[in-house]
Homo-oligomer: A and B are copies of this chain.
Amino acid sequence: VTLTTDFGSAGPYAGAVKGVILRLCPRAQVVDITHDVPAGDVLSGAYILAQAAPYFPPGTAHVVVVDPGVGTERRILAGVFAGQTYLFPDNGVITLVAAGLPLEELVVVRNPEFLPAPEAPATFHGRDVFAPLAAAMLNGLDLEVLGPQPDTYKLLDLPQPVESSAEIGGQVVWVDSFGNLVTNIPAEMVRHRWHDGAVRVWCAGKAIGELQLAYGFVGPHEPVAVVNSMGAVEIGVNRSRADRALNAGIGTAVRIVGVESQERRLE
């Protein structure tokens, strides 16, 4: 079982969740993905989860508690994507996992055995709801026991890149904890259009240059565009924070243009 939360690694909350899981399922191996998702930041939670969870072994249960709506009407969902089980609040935190992996099963947790009494304080569903659910799933519980299949579930509305005759126009959709700028432009789209990969990337109105194979291909503190570990175009600054150096953030425009053969000959 893995944990992805915004509890903060400095507090007791992740420990309490681990304790409950191990108490109810002593043979569990509890692995931290992170407890330092920025508090209540569902978008960051979605990216972090999608970049780590799919690499775990088949059958892993992933517990996701980035849940600013805890105690309100938001639902708790349990779903199977590509052979692994995810337990998550219905707030869009599953968006990037769902975008990349086939959904095989999905239920809304309605079984009152797994939900707190309505009048109970609801400050810590991670410990009181998610952890017992995770332990029950590790102990072999069928998802159907938890509740019915929902008609729909929430996905974050992420902007799509736009292709024009001259360029691909995208934007920064996430800033990672190093300040790297993840865009919504798939490397596949760039390769498909300019087969030789000769392109120029612009971000926040500044020329970043061509797509490189690694950060280390530019000098220290120079900006660089790479294909990141998710297969998307990402803008970084070697050994620095790109968000500060380029004064960029979520929503900042990113453009990719092809390099004409002649221009390349003149270079």
Chain A residues within 8 Å of B, Cβ to Cβ: 2, 4, 8-16, 18-20, 22-23, 26, 29-37, 39-40, 47-57, 60, 68-72, 119-124, 127-128, 176-178, 187, 213-217, 226-229, 234, 239
Contact = CB atoms under 8 A, between A and B. Distances in A.
Contacts of A53: 15, 19
B32 A15 contact: yes
Given A39-B239, A215-B70, A22 B31 contact: yes
Contacts of A120: 213
Nearest to A18: B31
Given A9-B34, A16-B229, A19-B53, 15 more contacts: A11-B34, A12-B52, A18-B31, A18-B56, A23-B55, A39-B178, A55-B127, A70-B215, A71-B216, A121-B214, A121-B226, A121-B228, A123-B214, A123-B227, A123-B229
Contact of A71 (B22, B30, B121, B215): B215
B123 A226 contact: yes
Contacts of A229: 13, 16, 121, 123-124, 127-128
A213 to B, nearest CB: 5
